[in-house]
């Protein structure tokens, strides 16, 4: 572990922010991503101040939130001597798409372990990794992915190479630092908004919690309790989202030198956080009627494309929140768009060809 990954002694929050900004990473994303005011969507929601933070436009390999996390997971020190990247996901994994593209950019081999049958005609996120040159290994069940990644790493080693196994979703304490940095970026943008608002409701899709956990840590380091995070689940229970995101925030704090700091724990626990599992429906990757309606609203009102697995359910959660209670005076609503449009196109192509 490098000096950047484990500092010698605990630091202040300001020291941790400095360390985060200086952390060596492999730059893929086009930053900062824009924060756009969405007036027509705001009218639909019945609120005066609605915004979208467009992390769908991180740029690399069709963008999305995985790009920020991989910048830290694939930091230069972690790639020394590496010949192959190995990771896993579902048939339409955004993470696998971006990992395969990163391997291509870096001149590395890539093996993806995907659960589900081999598609006869890959589309969307199933097609793109193959276009990027990744080797795809299909397994029957999600539980088979971990052991298969280990076997693939052993195979690479036996052939004289060296593999880096990237955890699913890059949702680790290290990967979450991408969204700790994003939180600081977003705070600068919010502070520049001339809308008279002093509080923000920030809605974000969550599953493996690397994005949500990173945001929690970023707000904690900045000492900002005026931003209320709302994590909307794509699959897990609300309790699991809360537990995992706080765990990842604590792991990120440790990497930044705040291990053992009671101040860091208090700051993380002080971040206003709500987790919502009302939009899961029958399960992961299966859109609900509310999610499909949200997709149409964002497209027709703002020209913004959501995906069927993550962002559409988060948007449905935001719409439900506004319909039930709306905003108080002085509040704004921000939707963090995590990307994933290739999954929507794959679904559309499947329906067209069926």
What is the per-residue pLDDT for 215?
98
Contact predicate 318/230, CB 8 Å: yes
Fold of 13-65+173-353: Rossmann fold (3.40.50)
What is the per-residue pLDDT for 352?
33
**Identical fold between 13-65+173-353 and 75-165:** yes
Report the catalytic residues: 93
Where do the structural domains in the chain lie, given as residue ranges? Answer: 13-65+173-353, 75-165
Cis bond upstream, residue 92 (ω within 30): no
What is the per-residue pLDDT for 259?
79
Is 2.60.40.290 the CATH number for 75-165? no
pLDDT, tens only, 310-340 = 999 999 999 999 999 999 999 999 999 999 9
What is the per-residue pLDDT for 9?
52
Token duo for residue 239 = 């309790």
What is the per-residue pLDDT for 347?
66
pTM of the entire predicted model: 0.94
Can you list the residues of the chain whose pLDDT is less than 50?
1-4, 6-8, 10, 349-354
* Residue tagged 């929507």 (tokens): 344
């Amino acid at each position: 572990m490098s000096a950047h990954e484990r500092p010698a002694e605990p630091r202040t929050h300001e020291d941790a922010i400095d360390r985060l900004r200086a952390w060596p990473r492999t730059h893929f994303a086009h930053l900062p991503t824009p924060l756009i005011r969405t007036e027509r969507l705001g009218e639909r929601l019945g609120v005066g101040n609605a915004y979208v933070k467009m992390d769908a436009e991180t740029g690399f390999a069709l963008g999305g939130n995985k790009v920020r996390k991989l910048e830290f997971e694939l930091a230069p020190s972690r790639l020394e001597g590496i010949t192959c990247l190995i990771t896993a996901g579902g048939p339409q994994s955004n993470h696998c798409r971006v990992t395969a593209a990163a391997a291509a950019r870096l001149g590395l081999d890539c093996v993806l372990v995907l659960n589900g049958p081999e598609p006869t005609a890959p589309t969307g996120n199933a097609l793109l990794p193959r276009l990027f040159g990744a080797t795809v290994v299909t397994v029957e069940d999600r539980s088979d992915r971990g052991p298969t990644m280990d076997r693939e790493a052993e195979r690479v080693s036996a052939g004289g190479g060296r593999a880096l196994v990237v955890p699913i979703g890059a949702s680790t304490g290290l990967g979450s630092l991408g969204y700790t940095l994003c939180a600081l970026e977003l705070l600068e943008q919010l502070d520049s908004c001339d809308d008279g608002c002093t509080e923000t409701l920030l809605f974000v899709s969550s599953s493996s919690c690397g994005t949500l956990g990173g945001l929690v840590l970023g707000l904690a380091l900045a000492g900002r309790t005026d931003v209320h995070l709302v994590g909307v689940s794509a699959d897990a229970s609300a309790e699991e989202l809360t537990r995992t995101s706080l765990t990842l925030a604590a792991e990120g704090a440790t990497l930044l030198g705040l291990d053992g700091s009671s101040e860091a724990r208090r700051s993380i626990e002080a971040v206003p956080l709500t987790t919502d599992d009302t939009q899961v429906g029958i399960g992961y990757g299966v859109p609900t009627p509310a999610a499909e309606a949200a997709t149409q609203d964002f497209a027709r009102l703002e020209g913004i494309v959501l995906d069927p697995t993550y962002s559409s359910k988060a948007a449905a959660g935001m719409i439900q929140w506004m319909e039930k209670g709306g905003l108080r005076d002085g509040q704004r609503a921000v939707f963090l768009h995590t990307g994933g449009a290739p999954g929507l196109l794959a679904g559309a192509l499947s329906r067209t060809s069926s």
